[in-house]
Every structure is written in structure tokens, then in C-alpha cells.
Amino acid sequence: MNKGLKIFLITLLVILVIAIVVLTTLKLLHHNTQTENTSPYSQTAVNVMQELNLYDEINKRDYSKTVETLLETNELEKKYLDDYYQIDYANITNFGTVINELLNKNYTSEEINYITKNMASDINILLNMDYVNILAFKDITNFDINNLERYLTYQEENSEYDLATVVTYVNIGLDKEGYSEYSEYTEEEAQNDLTILVNKYHKLPDDYEPDDLVALSYSNGYTYYLRKEAAQAYEQLSSAALLDNVIVYPFSTYRSYDTQSKLYNRYVSRDGREAADTYSARPGFSEHQLGLAIDIRSNTLNDNLTDKDYEWMLDNSYKYGFIVRYPKGKQHITQFMEEPWHLRYLGIELATKVHDSGLTYDEYYDLYMK
């Protein structure tokens, strides 16, 4: 081969190589340009799609903000791709991490959408637990995610109760021993709110005394005090009862913290603390200190109501703003033995609602007033 032909062939080969390189480069540039122009996703997301070999798979589907976010944060897991398309994007911290952790715990897309929309600030509670059928709580209006573990434990121990009942009972505090944990009202709350709940989980200040106590007209050698509004309502109730031949008298009304303390300690000395706790409130936990509770007796009894008089109170006391606070058959809720004689003033409107609900005040308060 002569020298000229050899140079020609080498030159031709170099030109061919350059042409191939140029064409390949142009093709790649064209492909990238086409990707940028046709994909609805950000370039960052597109780059990750290509790395994962998911460009065609993702772009043949409708756009998903959730998918884009997971691509941009490099948190997309191929095995959950179908699930991502069913999960609505939510503007929450560490969205991708949260979604993947919930999917890893076997939450469905429906459950995840409910969680991110309704429990955004409390998701860590679920992330620190095994899977929970969270949608079972969806229609329970007094559900509190902070009590979730307590609900599950109480339900396991009390399978006879449905989930709504479990939620209410735990919210009341029935999964814990009475007085073991409680909140305390301020004097202002006690004075200004006639509807506050006082029980083994809600306490009054030791030195609280209502500033509007008045004496009832009935004395029998003692002076009985209630707050003014409750006293006026009781006078109306007793007069109405008399018209139906129901004759009742008060035998215990307002009691100070000190009075309740002496009474409770006397019962403890006589019967022991465990027994005393079933029928007497510890000081600070008695409705009598509110000045809104009154114990009444039938004229034929020393400290109780006849069945007839009790039924009259159940059917009529709410019309004057009172409820039977510790009705028969509700000891497992109120945490006190039945006290047919113990009335609590709430005002006509609220007392009527409690009466019509058929609930104890503990239940009603948690369901509708907290």
C-alpha cells in the first residue's frame, strides 16, 4: 500500500470516529432535551427516574406530587410505586421518610392519607408503635391519639366493651386507679364554671370556697348552704316534688375541704381506705365542696330516697337543673357506689342534655364538653 493511500484511509477512519462521536452526543442531547420538554416532573426528579430505570414507567402515568417529592429526596422505593400513586402529598416534615415507614409497617394508602390529614402533629406516636387499625377510631369523636396505647391495653383487658366505650372509659381515667393521676382546677375555674367535672381524676383547690353561698329555707336545726343559683333551683325542685306528693329534705350540701377531710378520715378509720373510697370522696375531690351538690332524703327515711322518690328525681330533677350524679348500676363508671340521693346542679339546659343522653356525667363530659 502506497503512502498516500495509507494516509487517506487513516484520515477517513478518524473522520468516521469523529462522526460517530458527534452523532452519539447529538442523540443524547436530543434525548435529554426531549425528556426536559415532555416530562411534568422536575429535572431533579427526572434524573433520579433515569438512574432507577423508571422514566418510562413513571411518565406513562398521571403526575403525582408524592412521587415527585420522593424522587427529589431520593427516597422512592420501587416496591411501593403503586402505593405512592394512591397517597396524597402532605406538607409535613420528612414526608418521604414518614410515608415509607408507615408503608413498612403495613399501613394502606387509605390509612396513610387519613393519618397525614388528621394526625400530622402526632405521627411519631404511630411510628413508635406496631401497626394499629387506625381507621377503626375514625368515627369516634372523643378519640385522643395520645391515649392510643392505653386504649389498646384496656380493650385487650376488657373485650366485652366496644371500641367507642373503651375510648370514653380510658379518657375518663378508668384504666388507672382512682386518685393516682389527676388534674387540678384553679379557683377561678371552680368559681366561674358551674359545669366542671369533679371526680377521682379532677380535683378542686384545697382552699376553694364559693363566694355566693346562701342558706336553704329548710333547716331542721342545721343550716344548709348551696351556691345561690343552685339554691334557688332546689327550692323550685322541692316545691314541684311536693305537688306530686314527693316530700324530700336536704341532709348534706356544701362541705369545705376541712369538713370533707374529717368525714373521709372518719370513714377510713371505721371501714378502711379501700372501702371508704367506694362511697366517700377524698378531700378536694368532692362535689360538695363546689356548693353545687345536695344529698336529699325522703321524709320517711334518714339518709336515702324511696324507690318512688328516686324514680321521680330521675324523671324530673333535670327540669330544675339537677341530675342524679351517681345513679344505680353505674358504679363501674362513676367509681362510687350508687347514691340515689346525691343531686348535682348543672343548669337546666345542660342537665336536660345529660338526662336525655342516658349517660353519666363523667361520660357526657368526655364526649361533649372537653
Active site residues: 339
CA 312 to chain centre: 35
* Grid cell for residue 53: 430505570
Q: Which helix (H) or strand (E) holds 332?
A: helix 331-334
Q: Can you list the positions of beta strands (E) in the chain?
A: 183-184, 202-203, 213-215, 225-227, 248-252, 293-298, 322-326, 339-345
Q: Phi, psi (5° rounding) for residue 278?
A: -85, -15
What does the DSSP assignment read for 258-290? HHHHHHHHHHHHHH-HHHHTTTSPPTTS-GGGG
Task: Beginning with the edge strand found earlier in the chain, give each strand of the sheet holding 248-252 in spatial order.
Answer: 248-252, 293-298, 339-345, 322-326
Cα angle: 230, vertex 306, 246; to 5 degrees:
55
Distance CA 54, CA 45 (A): 11
DSSP state of 221: T
Of 39, 70, 44, nearest in space to 55 by CA: 39
* Farthest CA pair distance, the chain: 143
